[in-house]
Every structure is written in C-alpha cells, then in structure tokens.
Amino acid sequence: MEVNGTIEGSIHEGNLSQIVKNGNLNVEESGITKKSHELNGSQVDGSGNFSNFSGKGTVLGEKGEVWGNTHVGNFFENVKNGSFVVQESGIPKNTPQLNGTHIDGDITFSNFSGASDSGSVNSNVGTPTYVEDVGSNGERKKVAVTEGKGGVSVEQFGGIGSNDGKSLTGRGKDFYGDCDIFDGEWVRDDTKPHYPPGSCPIIDRDFDCHLNKRPDDGYIKWRWQPYACDIPSLNATDFLERLRGQKLVFVGDSLNRNMWESLVCILRHSIREKKRVYEISGRHEFKKKGFYAFRFEDYNCSVDFVSSPFLVRQSAFKGKNGPFETLRLDLMEKTTSMYSDADIIIFNTGHWWTHEKTSRGEDYYQEGNHVHARLKVLEAYKRALSTWARWVDKNLDGSRTQIIFRGYSATHFRGGPWNSGGQCHKETEPIFKKAYLKKYPSKMKVLHHVLHNMTTPVIYMNISRLTDYRKDGHPSIYRKEYKTVEEQMAGVHAQDCSHWCLPGVPDTWNELLYASLLKSRKGLWKN
C-alpha cells in the first residue's frame, strides 16, 4: 500500500500503520518492505530502523490541528504538536506505540522530534510543560507534561498489545493509545458478566442483588464501548501475572469498596483452587481498623481496601460546650500507613461530601485550631483534595507507585434524595439519550484543578458520564431478602440508588482500570 499525502491507517498485526501528514509511506501487509522508504525525509531501512525523523505532527485533529498523545501528566491527554525524544532502545514485539501505531518486530527509534506549541522538548529538563487537553466532558484544561533526563516519559503515550493474541483495531481515525476511553456508550453484551451471579462469597449482602432476589438480570449484560477505539477485555490471569509480588490498594469510601469487591471477584474467578485466595484480615478486622485485604497465594500479591471516605481526617474539637465532631481539611486520615508502600493505589472521595452534615458546612470543617463557622462544601472539598495532593507529592514516588483517582459515580434517586424516599427500583434499562444526563459534577471540576497542580503523575478515571447512563444498575430495594410484606414496603422507602449491584457496573470500572494500567506502560505493565 503506497500513499502520498495524508494517510489514515488502522492497527493491524504485522503492519506499520500511522496517520501521517504530508508524508510518503510504503507498507506491505506482511510488514515493512526490504527496500528503503522515505518518510518526511527520514530513511527507513530494510530492518525497520528509523533515524533522524522530524516533522510537524503526525495525527490530525477534527479541524486540521496537529495532535500527538501522551500521558505523563494527570490525565489521558492530547498534546498539540507534541515533540518527543526517544532514546535508542528495542521495542518489544506486539507493542503498539507512538500515536497508536502498532509496531511488530525489532524496530528502534532515534532522534525522533517535531514542533511543539509549548516549546521544544529535550532530554535534560525536569520541569513540567503545560499544554491544553480536551477531555470527555468537552472542557479545555491545562495539562502538565513532564520532561526528564532521558527524554519525555511516554507513559500513557502508546497503546498496548492484545492479551488474547488478537490485534487491536482502531475505530475511525483514533486508536486505543489516542482515544478517551471514558467517552462512549453502553452496548448489549450477552457474554457478560466476568463471574456468575451468586458465585463470589466476598460480595457484601447489600450489593448482591442476585442473592437478594432481584428478578431481572439485564443490568449485567452491558459492555462499555468507547466511541473512538476498542479497549482490551479484562484478562484476569494476565492482570494477576502483572500483579505478581505486588500490592494493589483501593482507598476511599464505600463506592471504592464496591469496585474493590468487583476486582477481587473477577480475579478470584480465574483461580482454579479457590482456597489459594484468602483473607489477610477478616470482616471483624475491617470493622475495627477500616482495612480489608485478599491475598492471591499463587501470585504472591494482595488486593486491599482501606476505608477513608474523606481521605482527610475525621476528628473532634473541644469547644466551650464540650467536644464536637469535625473534619480536618489539613490532615490526612491516619490510615496512610496502610497503603503508603503499595505499588498501585486507586483513590476516591465524593459521596460523603453530599451528606447533610458536610454540605451544610456549619461548625464542622477544621484547619489547625480554627473551626469554620460556615464553609461551602466545594471549597472544603478543594482544600481536602489539596491536602491529599500535597501528601501524594511528598510521600509517594510516582516512578514506582502507580497512582489513580477514580471520579465521581452518578446516583439516580427519583422522587427525593437518598434519605427522603428517593427511588430507582423500577429501572431496568440504561439511559440511552445524552439529553437526559446530568451536568458534569462540580466536584470533578474541582478535582481537575487540583490534579493539574500536582507534580506526581495521576491517572484520572473519569467515570461520571458512563455511570450516569446506568440508572438500572443500583441495588435499590434489593439490599436484602425480605421475609415479610412489611419489610418489603419499608425497603421501598429506604432504597440504595448510589451503590451498584455486583456483578454489575463496577466490573466495567475494573475493565477500564486494566486498560489504563496497560496504557501507562509502567513497571510490569510495560509489555
């Protein structure tokens, strides 16, 4: 296939496909031909080596802008006219890299450069460069791109290889490495779920809708499909292999516990001898210390949950009329010692900031010895997240620890809030029209601001929109099995429309976690 001018290719195993502006590329289906090819003045020899490659941009935006892609800042970012210096090194087979291009074979790159709106990128600078990113919420944001001694880190820059031996196929102009995997739609998938309903004993009774006799099961038959690309299906054995000898910890509120239970169930289902998966600490330990963990003996790894609903410390203040409860916006929760040594940490906080005590903000938020008479919840949330961000930047090594922040999960109470008769028990299908979705959560806009000012790379899992579609996925009245009609009637007035049934929506979060970790190409997730 020989093309002059603009080339828009897709990913095929054994092919070198690329979106190239003003370039010549000669590619055969079996790989790179033995004769030399020219690409913007760069020689490609028969062995597939690139040298002295330069030019303005390689990926075209919707309006003709030139875009590259990287994730060395806080989000999945589009970098306008991105420039990169990649040292000579072998590229593993079946590793798609560089703007989503699938590279098969022993190809090395040297002196790869381009033009950047933010200034040239070199290998001797260790400070962030700020560029613009357009996220799935349509908001333009400033993004930090960190440069290091060895050139720009290409974490989250490239794509990944499929774990089932199949190549990933780009949909439209974007590939997995370039697209926003959180911008998409739910499609019916009868192969779901990852584990049979009722098969995982660690699921909290409140989340086990199947055990609690929910009559329909359509809510487990949906798959998240990004608009611009395909993501790999979660390979539980591969996930465990990459976790070998490591510690993964979820830190946050009960929605993160929802996600943690989902991941343990997915991974446990792939283990033949279930007795080789066991609790490090039991439920009685969780109630005492807010810590719950499972060990996968065959892989010498653990998947833990640490309860920290605000991330910052719940405390007490001695006032004139006696002690009263406060929230220390300037101090992290004491549980940090339980996860500071982890290899992968997934943080979240959000739902507890909507409760009456926090949202009212009267005589509750404390900084130092001062208790604010009144403080708006968004300002308090920002200060708490800033405390978390400072702790991460000071105490965690981003080159060793993969840090993730999972965004706000949508609720679907109808007819009232969570504590006043709100309902969702009649919902059996997702929302299909975007017009019916809520506005992007204000708390997540605050989170964007905090993440942009951090020096440590953080993967942001922007699940707000994808969960907003799923009004059918909550436990609602199926939090327990009712023994009497009276109990069932009482359950209608105390529904759970914020947590999620398991199996269910949190399984998709873990699919996106798996894809995000593969995309990060950090540590054991490189190949």
Q: What is the CATH number of the domain that holds 521?
A: 3.40.50
- Strand 344-347 vs strand 247-252: parallel, antiparallel, or unpaired? parallel
What is the crossing angle of helices 505-520 and 254-269, to 10°? 80
Chain length of the chain: 527
Q: Pick from 135, 152, 169: which residue ends a domain?
A: 152
In sequence order, which residues have a C-beta less than 8 Å from that of residue 112 and are 6 or more positions away? 50, 53, 54, 84, 85, 86, 98
Asked whether residue 455 falls in the same domain as residue 393, the answer is: yes
Choosing from 104, 464, 499, 516, the catalytic residue is 499
Q: Pick from 109, 135, 152: which residue ends a domain?
A: 152
Output the pLDDT for position 420.
64
Q: Pick from 152, 173, 203: which residue ends a domain?
A: 152
Tokens of 147: 């440069």
Question: Which residues on neighbouring strands pair with residue 476, listed in sequence order?
Answer: 496
Asked whether residue 397 falls in the same domain as residue 278, the answer is: yes
Asked whether residue 63 falls in the same domain as residue 112, the answer is: yes
Asked whether residue 344 falls in the same domain as residue 454, the answer is: yes
Residue 429 placed within a domain: no
Question: Which residues on neighbouring strands pair with residue 208, listed in sequence order?
Answer: none
Query: Is 190 a residue of the active site?
Result: no
Choosing from 104, 304, 468, 496, the catalytic residue is 496
Query: Is 254 a residue of the active site?
Result: yes
Report CA 331 to chain centroid distance, whole Å.
26
Output the pLDDT for position 412.
95
Query: Is 420 a residue of the active site?
Result: no
Asked whether residue 212 falls in the same domain as residue 266, the answer is: yes
Contact 255, 348 (CB under 8 A): yes
Its domain, for residue 55, covers 2-152
Residue 415 placed within a domain: no
Rounded CA separation 51/493 (Å):
68
**Other residues' Cβ atoms within 10 Å of the Cβ of residue 279:** 14
Asked whether residue 197 falls in the same domain as residue 243, the answer is: yes
Asked whether residue 195 falls in the same domain as residue 112, the answer is: no
Contact 461, 516 (CB under 8 A): yes
Share of the chain residues as helix, strand and coil, in percent rounded to the nearest 5: 20, 25, 50
Which helix (H) or strand (E) is 393 found in, with range? helix 377-395
Residue 297 placed within a domain: yes
Residue 288 DSSP class: H
Residues 371, 372, 374, CA angle at the centre, nearest 5°? 145
Helix (H, G, I), strand (E, B) or coil at 380: helix
Asked whether residue 216 falls in the same domain as residue 140, the answer is: no
DSSP E strand boundaries for 394-506:
402-406, 459-461
Asked whether residue 314 falls in the same domain as residue 453, the answer is: yes
Give, in order, the Cα–Cα distances in Å from 84 to each of 109, 119, 388: 11, 11, 31
Cα dihedral 90, 50, 73, 135 sign: negative
Residue 251 placed within a domain: yes
Asked whether residue 143 falls in the same domain as residue 280, the answer is: no
Residue 427 placed within a domain: no
- The residue type found at 153 is S
Output the pLDDT for position 285.
60
Backbone φ and ψ of 476, nearest 5° = 50, -115
Output the pLDDT for position 20.
35
- pTM metric for this prediction: 0.68
Asked whether residue 257 falls in the same domain as residue 376, the answer is: yes
Asked whether residue 242 falls in the same domain as residue 376, the answer is: yes
Rounded CA separation 249/403 (Å):
10
The count of structural domains within the chain is 2
Residue 57 placed within a domain: yes
Choosing from 254, 308, 498, 520, the catalytic residue is 254
- In the block, tokens 């007490």 appear at 316
In sequence order, which residues have a C-beta less than 8 Å from that of residue 437 and are 6 or more positions away? 431, 465, 468, 469
Output the pLDDT for position 354.
79
Give, in order, the Cα–Cα distances in Å from 144 to each of 57, 80, 192, 294, 496: 19, 13, 37, 35, 38
Residue 488 placed within a domain: no
Rounded CA separation 177/228 (Å):
10
Question: Across the 527 residues of the chain, what is the mean pLDDT of every consecutive 10-residue run?
Answer: 38 35 36 36 38 35 35 33 35 37 34 34 37 42 38 30 31 59 97 96 95 96 96 96 98 97 98 94 61 95 97 89 91 96 97 79 92 94 98 97 97 76 91 92 94 97 98 95 79 90 99 95 87
Residue 487 placed within a domain: no
